[in-house]
Structure formats: structure tokens, C-alpha cells
Amino acid sequence: MDMRAIGNTPLAVTQFGFGGAAIGGLYRECTREAAMETLQAAWDAGMRYFDTAPFYGFGLSERRMGDFLRNKPRETYVLSTKVGRLLRPVPEDKVPDHSYVNPLPFTVDYDYSYDGIMRSFEFSFARLGLNRIDILYVHDIGVYTHGAEKNAVYQRQLLDSGMKALDELKTSGAISAYGLGVNEVEVCLDVIARHPIDCILLAGRYSLLDRSAERGLLEACRRQKISLVIGGVFNSGILATGPVPGANFDYGPASEDIVERVRAMQAIAEANLVPLAAAAMQFPLREPVVANVLIGTAKPSSLARNMELLNVTVPDAAYSAFEPFTIR
């Protein structure tokens, strides 16, 4: 699998990587056995970039990913996790519902401060059982998650002290790169105008359907040599399932407008004799500033099916035909 650099750092990642939300039980239970089998399938497919977060199953994803990677030669893979949430133990009946099935018995507290980031970093080592983390992402800063009023407080916390923690960790060699892990373009533009970063994990905003990142972010990343890691290439499923009844977009039921856009895209894909999902998987890497596309699943069969889509040649003419139906 081809490699691409992360910003101006010494890191390089495989063009496709494994996203760890599903092995933390996102939307449906994932057994430990299924998690290990899926991670092994990712490894066998050539993926050497693995992303997780404390939030995914409230520590469950980090534990499982660390268990899988522990006996792999450390120089052969790149690992990222996230900061911005601290886990706090609670009784089982107080565990919040964030769409994780059978998570560990914790709740989450937001903390983007210097101390909060340092504590989160140390706690992740304990859950992973590993002694090195390559990339740290600031998780879910922005209005999309917090609303305008709360985000103003959290963003000030990050810029006033949290970034200092990340700078210190990178300067000391404890990490090799840091950036943002978010679902919106606006906070990326806001932060990178105030502080240099190496990379952005952007979910759902640079896909075949939703090209919001073209509103200034791609150009800013090119100019500042910030790499993009793209998650959510299927936009919560609709680009994989097509415009079927009950299709999801952006973590919820797709609107009629979205369904109609995807229906038009499906027709274009069929006219070009390619699966729509193949075009969706391959699209982001047409942009050189994109270093990696994350694939998240808890089933080896799903991962294998997705990887087979990389063998499909999608004509340039098809990508041009999709453009009128995109969101920008």
C-alpha cells in the first residue's frame, strides 16, 4: 500500500488506515474476538495506520487496539489517539448513551486545557498498554459538538493552554505530530489561523457527496503543509448502501434532498459500470493534501469487501459527472 507523509513531520502513513470507533461498539456490540479478527484483517490488507480515541467505547477501543498492536514491531505502524475528553468511572446505570453498545463503565468530561491534555495522554498509555503514540488529535472541538456558547469557552481553553501541552509533547519527542479530529470545516480554519498544526482528521466533510472542505480548507492546508486524514467517506452509510429506504447521512436519517443527490450519483456510477462505494473510497486520495482515508468497521468481511473496491478503476469522467450533485 502506498505511503503519504504527514505534514512536515518524519511520519508517513499508508493511504488507507483503520478507524477504531466500530471496535468500541459504535451503534452495535462488537465482541473482543470480532475486534481482533477485524484488526488482523486490516493488517493483512496492508494497513499500517491505526486510529482510536478514549471516547470510542469509553476506553474499549484503545484497550483492544493496544492488545492487537502490542506484539507488532513498533516501527512498522503509526498510531493515533485523541485528547479533549477525560474518562471518569461511574456506576453502570449512570453510563451515558453516546451510541456505544456495552461500553466500559465511564462517563466523559470535556477538558481542552494543558492539564486535561496531559492527563488524557497519560491515561491513553495505560489503556493502550503501549509506550508510544505517534499522533494526537484534539477531539471534537467546535460548534458542531458543543454549540456556539460552550465552544467559545473550550476553544479559548485550547488556544490559551492546551496547544502549549501539544507543543511540549512534540518538542520532547513524546509524539511526532498533532492536529484536530473534527466533523466541521469552520473550526479547522479558525484554529489553523491562530496556531500551526500538522494534520487534521476530518470526518464526513471531504467525501464524494459532501465537499465542504473545498470552502477554503483544502487551500489553507496546501499553503500551510497540513495533511488531511479523511474519515466518514460513506457519509454514515448512504454512499455504501445507495439511496435505499432508511439510508443514513451525517449520523442520522438522510433527508429527501440527500437521497435524491445520491440517487443521481448512483445512476452515474451504474452508467460507468462502477460501484458507487468504490468511487467514494477512492475520491479523497485524488487530492494530494490527503494523506490517508480511514475505514472503520467491526467485521472482517466488511473490511475485505471495502478493500476489494480499491481494485476498481473509476473513470475521471465519472468524477466530473458527480460534481453537480455534491454539497459544498
Q: Over the stretch 287-303, which tens digit does the pLDDT of each residue have?
A: 999 999 999 999 999 99
143 touches 187 (CB < 8 A):
yes
Res 236 pLDDT > 90: yes
What separation in angstroms does the CA of 106 have from each of 57, 65, 269? 9, 18, 44
When pLDDT is cut at 50, 70 and 90, the band that residue 235 belongs to is: very high
Spell out the residues 6+ positions from residue 133 whose beta carbon is closer than 8 angstroms to its own.
79, 80, 81, 121, 124, 125, 174, 175
What pLDDT is stored for residue 270 in this prediction? 97
307 in a domain, yes or no? Answer: yes
Mean pLDDT of the chain, nearest integer = 97
pLDDT > 90: what percent of the chain? 99
Please give the angle made by the CA atoms of 204, 80 and 223, to the nearest 5 degrees.
60
Range(s) of the domain holding residue 247? 3-313
Q: Which of 27, 44, 49, 56 is catalytic?
A: 56
Catalytic residue among 27, 44, 49, 51: 51
> pLDDT class for 225, splitting at 50, 70, 90?
very high
Judge if pTM exceeds 0.75. Answer: yes
pLDDT for 233 equals 97
Give residue 207's pLDDT band: very low, low, confident or very high (50, 70, 90): very high
- Note whether residue 94 is domain-resident: yes
- Tally of domains within the chain: 1
H or E stretch covering 5 = strand 3-5
The two counts, helices (H) then strands (E), for the chain are: 12, 14
Domain-located, residue 195? yes
Q: Is residue 54 part of a domain?
A: yes
DSSP state of 226: -
- Do the domain assignments include residue 322? no
Active-site residue flag, 94: no
103: helix, strand or coil: coil
- Find the mean pLDDT for residues 97-104: 97
pLDDT of residue 284: 98
Residue 158 lies in a domain: yes
Q: What is the pLDDT of residues 44-86, one digit of tens each?
A: 999 999 999 999 999 999 999 999 999 999 999 999 999 999 9
Q: What is the dihedral of CA 182, 187, 192, 195, to 10 degrees?
A: -90
**Would you call 150 a catalytic residue per the annotation?**
no
303 lies in a domain?
yes
What are the tens digits of pLDDT across the range 176-200? 999 999 999 999 999 999 999 999 9
Residue 321 located in a structural domain = no
Residue in 77, 82, 140, 210 annotated catalytic: 82
The band of 1, judged by pLDDT with boundaries at 50, 70 and 90, is confident
**pLDDT for 247-269, tens place per residue?**
999 999 999 999 999 999 999 99
- CATH code, domain carrying 39: 3.20.20.100
